[in-house]
Amino acid sequence: MTLAPYAASDKTSRGRRYQETAPAYRGEYQRDRDRIIHCAAFRRLEYKTQVFVNHEGDLFRTRLTHSIEVAQIGRSIARALGLNEDLTEAIALAHDLGHTPFGHSGQEALNQCMRDHGGFEHNLQSLRVVEVLEERYAEFPGLNLTYETREGILKHCSLKKAAELGELGRRFLEKKQPGLEAQLVNLADEIAYNNHDVDDGLRSGLLGIDQLCNVALFSEQYLNVERTYPRLTPRRRIYETVRRMINRVVTDVIETSRRLLTESGVQHIDEVRNHPGQLITYSEEIRHETNGLKKFLRNNLYTHEKVSRMSNEAVKIVQELFAVFMQDPRLLPAQYQDKIKDSGAGAKADGSTPGKARIIADYIAGMTDRYAIREHARLCRARETA
Ligand code: MG
């Protein structure tokens, strides 16, 4: 398959931090993807919450199935636009590696715990996982991924952090764009979670069809399906609706972006980076409808009483684990205790030389939901009753 001139490619890549010989039978971005799939943080995504805690039901999305859906949507769009599918897949599979257990509430809680120690941002943590925390290769720390994959993983970051990041942070300070594959995964992420949260929300019973029929993106497809197939079972009607919703938005992104790419005249990834706006995007109409759906999910699912109850429990688990390890680091696994000893007095709050708090945050962020629950029961409940 031929790449468009504005796609990322091995030839225009800014390369890896530690030089390596080119792979013999793979491209550079294939190698990135393969390294991501083999890393421990990737396997843990299976037991991390997307919205519903992992053990609440076997059919709900986890961060792993979410990441695979993002890769699928991303690759379809990449192929249609002549973009680099391997890079798209690598970014998609890595984009959530830095997530804490228990989804958004876990991350908020850890950020609170870290407020005097440089804070906690999951995007930065995803980068930290691939740059530092995965220790698998003899010749370099982390996974030594290409610049373009790391550029895509870091989709947001505060300006303060950007200033500390060097080359990778510069685009946030200079208000420049990342490559098209990075822009694309950002949208694919949103398309995946908006749609699978509708599906999971309905399955869990926290959302109802009547409510959703007030959301344009849903009702348009749902009513169409009902009209065309009046005898379908309710579950099949929902699946058919969700697949049409994804198709509608994906088609829109392909057509809108194709038009923008032609109009912009960009011919090289560096021209994409210097272009004043994003070139992979929705039409105005779909952006408006997508925002409507996001608002609906925020008001009706993410803040639903049942989800909030789980969130409060998650916050408590993360906070208490953090407190217990800060107070007595001897409760940490040996390799984390060693890291704290090695860091000594040179620790900096920004994590460049990690101190005790950062090392504890790394440990907690790496936990799966069930591991955090178990550790909390072992270390914190025992103390309550002692
Ligand atoms: Mg995501």
Residue 279 main-chain phi, psi, to 5 deg: -105, -15
Ligand 1 centroid from CA 67, angstroms? 6
pLDDT score for 345: 54
Ligand 1 centroid from CA 208, angstroms? 24
pLDDT score for 361: 97
Ligand 1 centroid from CA 270, angstroms? 26
Ligand 1 centroid from CA 115, angstroms? 24
Q: What is the 3-state secondary structure (H, E, C) of the chain?
A: CCCCCCCCCCCCCCCECCCCCCCCCCCHHHHHHHHHHCCHHHHHHHHCECCCCHHHCCCCCEHHHHHHHHHHHHHHHHHHHCCCHHHHHHHHHHCCCCCCCCHHHHHHHHHHHCCCCCCCCHHHHHHHHHHHHCCCCCCCCCCCCEHHHHHHHCCCCCHHHHHHCHHHHHHHHCCCCCCHHHHHHHHHHHHHHHHHHHHHHHHHCCCCHHHHCCCHHHHHHHHHHHHHCCCCCHHHHHHHHHHHHHHHHHHHHHHHHHHHHHHHCCCCHHHHHHCCCCCCCCCHHHHHHHHHHHHHHHHHHHCCHHHHHHHHHHHHHHHHHHHHHHHCHHHCCHHHHHHHHHHHHHCCCCCCCCCHHHHHHHHHHHCCHHHHHHHHHHHHHHHHHC
Ligand 1 centroid from CA 310, angstroms? 20
As a whole number of angstroms, the distance between CA 73 and CA 88 comes to 10
CA-based nearest residue to 366, from 177, 176, 122, 169:
122
Ligand 1 centroid from CA 148, angstroms? 18
Ligand 1 centroid from CA 4, angstroms? 26
Start-to-end CA distance of the chain, whole Å, equals 65
Ligand 1 centroid from CA 155, angstroms? 11
Ligand 1 centroid from CA 95, angstroms? 6
Ligand 1 centroid from CA 53, angstroms? 15
CA-based nearest residue to 221, from 288, 289, 287, 283:
289
Ligand 1 centroid from CA 347, angstroms? 31
The C-alpha angle 377, 384, 47, rounded to 5 degrees, equals: 15
pLDDT score for 331: 95
- Within the chain, all domains assigned CATH 1.10.3210.10 are found at 22-305
Q: How many CB atoms lie within 10 A of CB 25?
A: 6
Ligand 1 centroid from CA 154, angstroms? 12
Ligand 1 centroid from CA 323, angstroms? 28
Ligand 1 centroid from CA 337, angstroms? 31
Ligand 1 centroid from CA 92, angstroms? 8
As a whole number of angstroms, the distance between CA 257 and CA 68 comes to 23
Rounded to the nearest angstrom, the gap between the alpha carbon of residue 373 and the centroid of all alpha carbons in its chain is 22
| Whole-prediction pTM | 0.94
Torsion of CA 274, 276, 282, 284, to 10 degrees: -170
Report whether 158 contacts 111 (CB < 8 A): no
Q: Give the list of residues 6+ apart from residue 78 with CB closer than 8 angstroms, or none.
A: 84, 85, 88, 181, 184
pLDDT score for 174: 92
Burial of 100 (0-12, 13-18, 19+ CB in 10 A): buried
Ligand 1 centroid from CA 99, angstroms? 9
Ligand 1 centroid from CA 346, angstroms? 34
The CATH architecture assigned to 22-305 reads Orthogonal Bundle (1.10)
Ligand 1 centroid from CA 71, angstroms? 10
As a whole number of angstroms, the distance between CA 249 and CA 246 comes to 5
Ligand 1 centroid from CA 17, angstroms? 26
Ligand 1 centroid from CA 242, angstroms? 18
> Which regions of the chain are under pLDDT 70?
1, 53-59, 344-354, 382-386
Ligand 1 centroid from CA 69, angstroms? 10
The C-alpha angle 192, 193, 196, rounded to 5 degrees, equals: 85
The C-alpha angle 89, 95, 97, rounded to 5 degrees, equals: 120
Ligand 1 centroid from CA 191, angstroms? 10
Ligand 1 centroid from CA 49, angstroms? 11
Q: CB within 5 A of ion ligand 1: which residues?
A: 96, 189
Ligand 1 centroid from CA 186, angstroms? 8
Ligand 1 centroid from CA 143, angstroms? 20
